[in-house]
Amino acid sequence: MKAAIILPVLLLFCFISGCQTHSTKPEENKAVGSLEDTPSLKSLASFNIGMAVQARQFDTHPESDKYLTILNQSFNQVTAEYEMKMHPIVANSLSNGQLVFNWDAPDRIANYARENNLKIHGHALVWHNEYATPDFLENWSGSDEEFTQLVLQWVAEMVTRYKDVVASWDVANEAFRDGCTRADDCYRDSVFYKHMGPDYIATVFQAAHDSDPEALLFYNDYGLTYDNIKRKAAMNMVDDLVGRGISIDGVGLQMHIDINFPSKSQIKKAMDDIAKRDLLVHVSELDVRANPETRQNFTFTKSHANKQKQRVYDVVKTFRNLPKANQFAITVWGFRDADSWLNSFWQSPQYGLLFDNQFNPKPAYDGFVESLK
């Protein structure tokens, strides 16, 4: 993510000729230059390279051309950051017991993907968060059966509508609590758990599979790299689905990390736990906070840039060390630093993405490139 220096002649030759490096560290503070001189991530990778997008970035944003230049050059898969979740599409729309849909934003994303040969990773069918669950479901006063039928209607409508362009889905997102003391008592007390019971995940996975048997289906969560009990709870759920013959193809590790934490060994352990089950690994929401202390007057220095570059390099390299059969995709959670959810969530500047606010690739982008060689 962020301007340019001239690469030494030898490195340039090495990149063009495809020679390999066996270093375990990226080159310090080598920026990849202007966007026009930037190697394409998708051309270097043997797996999908994803980007979180918003519909306005395709058309109404005043700098749409810059977003699309980056997207089309380096990425071959997109994930809607929030516009394919339930709340933005159905909001508080309920008519005669049926959901009422507003397809405007997701259709714009889907149409652009169709026209530009991009895959879509759908995100997310069931999530407890207020940005994903409509108020009328969050405050549901009807029967549990009626609640379940509305959720199943949502899953069927969503998956069926986009089955020609959405190749994979996060079916359930963040179903487990933080800081559990026991893996067998870790489900989040969400509205879905309350009205559909602990088997709601199996129910929605089966519904998604029934609606599109060809789609790859994922469970997605944060904290699985460092919260061992939470990861065990998630893996127990996955094992249960597999044991019952319910289709699940992979697990998404959100990978909202910072320049210090979690450790490379923790990241590897989480990836290995998924891969050893013969499931796909998706680094699904990658960003790297440069300001974990949440300082208000924070300056993004050369030292921060190099640490961030190393972290990106380590994540991608660890992913690449998995068996190829277990490598699904790496998705970056936004274009420019200013676009990132991190700044508002942490109420401080975080500089967490691959491009700076002028759309220049940062050293972190170079770390991604080097990890793919």
Point out the residues that are catalytic. 174, 285
Q: Establish whether the linkage from the previous residue to 175 is cis, with ω within 30° of 0.
A: no
Angle at 192 between CA 262 and CA 107, to 5 degrees: 80
Q: Hunting for tokens 């061992």 — which residue is that? A: 228
Both tokens of residue 312? 């990106």
- Contact assessment for residue 133 and residue 191, using Cβ atoms and an 8 Å cutoff: yes
The 3-state secondary structure of 107-150 reads: HHHHHHHHHCCCEEEEEEEEECCCCCCCHHHHCCCCCHHHHHHH
Helix (H, G, I), strand (E, B) or coil at 4: coil
| Sequence-ordered strand ranges (E) for 32-81 | 48-53, 77-80
- Contact assessment for residue 98 and residue 153, using Cβ atoms and an 8 Å cutoff: yes
Both tokens of residue 360? 């220049």
As beta bridge partners, residue 331 has: 50
Measured between alpha carbons, how far is 353 from 367 in angstroms, rounded to an integer? 12
- 167 membership: H or E segment, kind and range: strand 166-173
